[in-house]
Amino acid sequence: MKYWIVILFTFSICTSQEAEYIDSTKVRNPRIAWKLGVLPGLGQIYNGKYVKAMGFMGAEYFVVTRFMELKNENRIGLRNTYAWWAFGLFVWNMLDAYVDAQLSTFPIKRLESNNDIDSLKVKLN
């Protein structure tokens, strides 16, 4: 289970970066994003992060399915662990949608260097 945390966290960080400029038509409303985040992945779809949405939907489906299996097997301790995981993913989903909407107009930094010896210099465009 520890590996799932690392994979989901890394996946979230990797898919939150965009390589292009954002024009004014792509500005997202954070209030709408977190409200849509109540359903797993819908807030990410609103923000245009389709791969991240699939990740959240898949993770939530896995956790809830496993929770139901453990409930039927009457394994209370492990069932409660998966209930906390479901709650954590639910909150993470809403917060991630809100933050992505807030950062939809954030300026993108470009790293440039004159040669291989120089350190990378940050230039804001």
Of the given ranges (26-40, 79-93, 97-111), which has the lowest mean pLDDT? 97-111
Q: Whole-angstrom Cα distance, residue 26 to residue 62?
A: 31
Whether 100 shows a pLDDT value over 80: the answer reads: yes
Q: Which residue has the tokens 């120089």?
A: 118
Q: Whole-angstrom Cα distance, residue 51 to residue 48?
A: 9
Of the given ranges (27-31, 63-67, 108-112), which has the lowest mean pLDDT? 108-112
Whether 117 shows a pLDDT value over 90: the answer reads: no
Q: Whole-angstrom Cα distance, residue 68 to residue 63?
A: 9
pLDDT confidence of residue 39? 92
Q: Is the pTM of this model over 0.95?
A: no
At residue 80, the 3 state secondary structure works out as helix
pLDDT confidence of residue 29? 84
What are the structural domain ranges in the chain?
Answer: 27-110+118-124
pLDDT confidence of residue 104? 79
More confident residue, 17 or 52: 52
3-40 tens-digit pLDDT: 777 777 777 776 665 555 555 566 788 889 989 989 99
CA distances from 58 to 22, 37, 52 (A): 28, 14, 10
Q: How does DSSP classify residue 49?
A: -
- Per the CB < 8 A criterion, the answer to whether 97 and 47 are in contact is yes
